[in-house]
Structure 1
Amino acid sequence: IQPPPRISSSVYDACHEVRYYLSELTLGQLEPVVNDPELTDAPCRVLRAAAGGPKANITGFNMRAFQASTGQPRYDPWERNEAWRYQGPYTRWNRLKSGFPGLGIATVAFTIYCGYEYFFLEDEHHHGEEHH
């Protein structure tokens, strides 16, 4: 089976030509492939993407307009009242420090104790000696 003789320049006509060519392949083994809309629409999506056209929006929902409308307002009268959440004792670093009180002192004390034990205390078990 040959593809249709006419090859159009527009993407829309090219999609229909691909579908026409696939519809001619109605042999017994290829019939499930031809009737699968996921496979027959794939060439059209590829051609639309290659042409640089926008992606098809089947819902009609414009995400860019939604994000623009839900962003930070131009003037927020309550902005001054909410500023305390991000300043002073409520900054991210201060909240982290207050989450672990005494961690710095405990780390220094533990390091000093490990050094004292290593240098000044003797090992009383005598693991390396062979007399019993």
Structure 2
Amino acid sequence: MSTHKANLTGFSPRKLAAAAGQPAKDPWARNEAWRYSGPFTRGNRFRGAFPGFGIAVVAFAGYMVYEQVFLTSAHDTHGAAAEHH
């Protein structure tokens, strides 16, 4: 026995979709166009999501460079010569 059930109504959604095809013109295309243009594009929506993030990254990187260059001491080494604790 097969697991395929007989279609009692004869209706097939796949045949209906194939017969209908694609519409010649989307009637709502003009009404939906504003979502994908101007200030609502994907890039513009996320541009203001994290205000000040770029400045914070530059400031943090600058501080890390400052700390590595000016704030390291000879006592902070963890080599074999520094066995005292």
Q: TM-score surpassing 0.5?
A: yes
Task: Give the structure 2 partner of residue 51 of structure 1.
Answer: none
Are 1:104 and 2:51 an aligned pair?
no
- Consecutive unaligned residues of structure 1, counting only runs of 5 or more, are 1-36, 43-55
Residue identity opposite 1:100 in structure 2: F
Moved >6 Å (runs of 4+): none
Tell me how far apart the structure 2 counterparts of residues 103 and 67 of structure 1 sit (CA, whole Å): 50
Are 1:82 and 2:35 an aligned pair?
no
- Residue of structure 1 aligned with 2:13, choices 36, 48, 62: 62
Length, aligned pairs only: 77
Q: Secondary structure at the match of 2:25?
A: coil
Residue identity opposite 1:116 in structure 2: Y
Deviation at residue 116 of structure 1 after TM alignment: 0.7
Are 1:115 and 2:65 an aligned pair?
yes
- Consecutive unaligned residues of structure 2, counting only runs of 5 or more, are 77-81
Tell me how far apart the structure 2 counterparts of residues 70 and 99 of structure 1 sit (CA, whole Å): 41
Q: Secondary structure at the match of 1:109?
A: helix
Structure number with the bigger relative contact order (C-alpha 8 A, sep ≥ 6) is 1
Q: Which structure 2 residues correspond to residues 1-132 of structure 1 after superposition, within 5 A?
A: 37=1, 41=2, 58-59=6-7, 60-63=11-14, 65-66=16-17, 69=20, 73-123=23-73, 126-127=75-76, 128=82, 130=84
TM-score of the pair, normalised by structure 2: 0.59
Q: Secondary structure at the match of 1:99?
A: coil
Deviation at residue 68 of structure 1 after TM alignment: 6.9
Tell me how far apart the structure 2 counterparts of residues 57 and 109 of structure 1 sit (CA, whole Å): 67
Tell me how far apart the structure 2 counterparts of residues 96 and 70 of structure 1 sit (CA, whole Å): 36
Query: What percent identity do the matched residue pairs reach?
Result: 45
Structure index of larger Rg: 1
